Structures are given as C-alpha cells and as structure tokens.
Amino acid sequence: MRLLWDTHTFLWFVAGSSELSQKARQTIETPSNEHFLSIASLWEISIKTVLGELAIQGSYESVINDVTENGIQILPINFTHTVQQHQLPLHHRDPFDRMIVSQALIEGMHLN
C-alpha cells in the first residue's frame, strides 16, 4: 500500500506521541507499505514553527533526518495536484490539508 502521511501523523510518529492511533501506527509499521510525505507538509512545518504555532523536537533543519531515517519519500507538488485542489469542495479551507488530499487522490495513495 502506498501511504501519504498527513503532517500530524508524521509529527506524532517521529515524536512517539500517543496522539497517533494504534491503527495508524500499525499501518505505518507494516513493512510492505511505501511511505510518502508531501513537500506541502514540510512547508507547513516550516511556516508554523517560524510563526510559533508549532513546536517540534530539534531544529527545523533536522526534520529531514526524521524523513530519511523512517524511509519516507518526499512527494513534490505538480500542476495536476493543483488542478485537483482547485476542484475540491470547500469542506476544509486549510491549504496544506487541501493539497495533501489532492495529492492522495491523484497519486492513488491512502491518506494516513
């Protein structure tokens, strides 16, 4: 299964947080799954740490170590992703979440 991690899923997993559900943890730890993190998530973490809206363990620059150490691939944003985002209903207005959902739909990934 190809999994696109939500930003909070990533942050909770690397921090070992109990906020991450047992089901999500089991899915992440299944060896046959492929793991992806949107570049939008890294952008979100960068912006929110600068604004003081998010505290993370270590520096922002160290986040890439968490990505690589967990075998996560970074998913870039392409034009097709933006077209999908443009067509989504406005159920949620968070631009980062909208992009991550769009990428999951276009790439045929499960959102985790």
* Domain range list for the chain: 2-111
Write out pLDDT tens, residues 58-89. Answer: 999 999 999 999 999 999 999 999 999 999 99
Is-above-0.85 flag for pTM? yes
For domain 2-111, the question of CATH label 3.40.50.300 is answered with: no
Per DSSP, the residues of 43-60 read HHHHHHHHTTS---SS-G
What pLDDT sits at residue 33?
96
Q: Which helix (H) or strand (E) element contains residue 5? A: strand 2-5
Write out pLDDT tens, residues 26-54. Answer: 999 999 999 999 999 999 999 999 999 99
Measured in residues, the chain has a length of 112
